[in-house]
């Protein structure tokens, strides 16, 4: 039996990724210390690795595909096929940022003030590329962790990954500049991508994962209404294209359904009711494949 060997990120993105995989139809069972989660698809074999390493192992062909951040693809200068972008993070559905941060009271006010300074970061090459673009000469050192606590005693500035900025603020740091915005990417080994079966498997996985993300924070609204009020109701409803309207067995009545942002439902339902809609149902979406 053919199998696709897939690497998924262990660590901060692990829970969000396993939830995404489960909603896509690939439930995986993994203990806290497990690196080989069990699934129910005999064609898919999964390993959990640090996101920092995944693109390198995919490039070498140790894995057919992997899900890792764009930042680590750039940091590793990995030559891989980008199958699709997946916009999600540990705490939400947005890109994360690598930023230059300095102590709140630091005299460093602009990027060029970093000249001659010392910077700590886990993403050394990413930082060095940024400095070259800015024509800044500074010393960059690798940080093994706890990077936020190093300024100002050990270094003048840091380049750190942030989603909300809350950890930086908690350590009395302010953002000086953005080095790179990053989102997770499903990437493929170049040889694996040329294999028709493996490519189809990766494309199917990408389709389902994107379908899950497209459905986030959206619901399906279904309702019945007198046919003579359908146009008015349709004007109230936002939709991906247009509400679906179909005739019912009951003469003079129609069924209406559409996908809407969940945050808008509390405003829409009373308006729909006043416009003549009846039997309004709100359904949670698992996937939305456009």
- Per the domain annotation, does 289 fall within a domain? no
pLDDT of residue 129: 95
Residue that has been written with the tokens 């896509």 in this structure: 24
Give the end of a domain, one of 137, 165, 182: 182
- Per the domain annotation, does 137 fall within a domain? yes
Give the end of a domain, one of 157, 182, 207: 182
Q: Are 86 and 210 a contacting pair, CB within 8 Å?
A: yes
pLDDT of residue 240: 63
Tell me: do 176 and 119 sit in the same domain: yes
What is d(CA 55, CA 68) in angstroms, rounded to the nearest whole number?
Answer: 7
Give yes or no for a cis peptide into 177 (omega within 30° of 0): no
Q: Are 287 and 211 a contacting pair, CB within 8 Å?
A: yes
What is d(CA 271, CA 279) in angstroms, rounded to the nearest whole number?
Answer: 14
Tell me: do 65 and 188 sit in the same domain: yes
Tell me: do 12 and 80 sit in the same domain: yes
What is d(CA 158, CA 101) in angstroms, rounded to the nearest whole number?
Answer: 5
Tell me: do 70 and 176 sit in the same domain: no
Tell me: do 79 and 190 sit in the same domain: yes
Tell me: do 21 and 35 sit in the same domain: yes
Read off the tokens for 195: 């294999």
Q: What phi and psi, each to the nearest 5 degrees, are found at residue 250?
A: -70, 120
Tell me: do 136 and 150 sit in the same domain: yes
pLDDT of residue 163: 86
- Per the domain annotation, does 53 fall within a domain? yes
Residue that has been written with the tokens 């262990």 in this structure: 10
What is d(CA 151, CA 157) in angstroms, rounded to the nearest whole number?
Answer: 6
Q: Are 276 and 270 a contacting pair, CB within 8 Å?
A: no
Domain at 154, CATH number: 3.40.190.10
Domain that holds residue 142: 96-182
What is d(CA 272, CA 281) in angstroms, rounded to the nearest whole number?
Answer: 12
- Per the domain annotation, does 202 fall within a domain? yes
pLDDT of residue 31: 73
Contacts of 70 (CB under 8 A, 6+ apart): 85, 180, 182, 183, 184, 185
- Per the domain annotation, does 142 fall within a domain? yes
- Per the domain annotation, does 84 fall within a domain? yes
Tell me: do 52 and 63 sit in the same domain: yes
Tell me: do 254 and 279 sit in the same domain: yes
Go through the chain and tell me how many residues it has.
290
What is d(CA 180, CA 74) in angstroms, rounded to the nearest whole number?
Answer: 10
| The total number of structural domains that make up the chain | 3
Residue 259 β-bridge partners: 220
- Per the domain annotation, does 77 fall within a domain? yes
pLDDT of residue 250: 76
Tell me: do 75 and 189 sit in the same domain: yes
pLDDT of residue 165: 85
Tell me: do 188 and 178 sit in the same domain: no
| 3 state SS for 216-277 | CCEEEEEEEEEHHHHHHHHHHCCCCCCCEEEECCCCCEEEEEEEEEHHHHHHHHHHHHHCCC
Domain at 243, CATH number: 3.30.70.120
Tell me: do 177 and 187 sit in the same domain: no
Q: Give CA 250 to chain center in angstroms.
A: 45
The pLDDT tens digits along the chain (290 residues) read 799 999 999 988 899 999 999 999 999 988 777 788 988 999 999 999 999 999 999 999 999 999 999 999 999 999 999 999 999 877 677 899 999 999 999 999 999 999 999 999 999 999 999 999 999 999 999 999 889 999 999 999 999 999 888 889 999 999 999 999 999 999 999 999 999 999 999 999 999 999 999 999 999 999 999 999 999 999 998 866 678 899 887 788 999 999 999 999 999 999 999 999 999 999 999 999 88
What is d(CA 173, CA 166) in angstroms, rounded to the nearest whole number?
Answer: 10
What is d(CA 71, CA 92) in angstroms, rounded to the nearest whole number?
Answer: 18
Give the end of a domain, one of 170, 196, 215: 215
- Per the domain annotation, does 138 fall within a domain? yes
């Amino acid at each position: 039996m053919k199998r696709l060997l897939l690497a998924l990120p262990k660590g901060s993105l692990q829970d969000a990724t396993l939830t995404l995989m489960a909603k896509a139809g690939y439930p995986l069972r993994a203990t806290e210390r497990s690196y080989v989660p069990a699934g129910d698809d005999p064609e898919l074999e999964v390993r959990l690795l640090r996101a920092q390493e995944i693109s390198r192992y995919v490039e070498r062909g140790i894995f057919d595909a992997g899900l890792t951040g764009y930042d680590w693809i750039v940091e590793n200068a990995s030559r891989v096929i980008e199958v699709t972008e997946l916009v999600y993070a540990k705490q939400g559905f947005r890109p994360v940022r690598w930023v230059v941060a300095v102590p709140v009271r630091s005299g460093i006010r602009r990027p060029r003030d970093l000249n001659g300074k010392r910077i700590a970061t886990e993403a050394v090459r990413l930082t060095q590329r940024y400095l070259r673009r800015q024509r800044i000469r500074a010393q960059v050192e690798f940080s093994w962790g706890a990077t936020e606590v190093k300024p100002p005693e050990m270094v003048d500035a840091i380049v750190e990954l942030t989603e909300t900025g809350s950890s930086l603020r908690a350590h009395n740091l302010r953002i000086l500049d953005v080095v790179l915005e990053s989102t997770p990417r499903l990437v493929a080994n170049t040889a694996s991508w040329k294999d028709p079966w493996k490519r189809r498997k990766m494309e199917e996985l990408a389709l389902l994962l994107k379908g899950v993300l497209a459905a986030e924070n959206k619901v399906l609204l279904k309702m019945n209404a007198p046919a003579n009020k359908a146009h008015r109701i349709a004007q109230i409803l936002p939709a991906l294209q247009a509400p679906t309207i179909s005739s019912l067995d009951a003469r003079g009545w129609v069924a209406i359904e559409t996908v809407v942002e969940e945050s808008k439902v509390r405003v829409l339902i009373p308006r729909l009711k006043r416009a003549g809609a009846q039997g309004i149902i709100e359904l949670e979406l698992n996937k939305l494949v456009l």
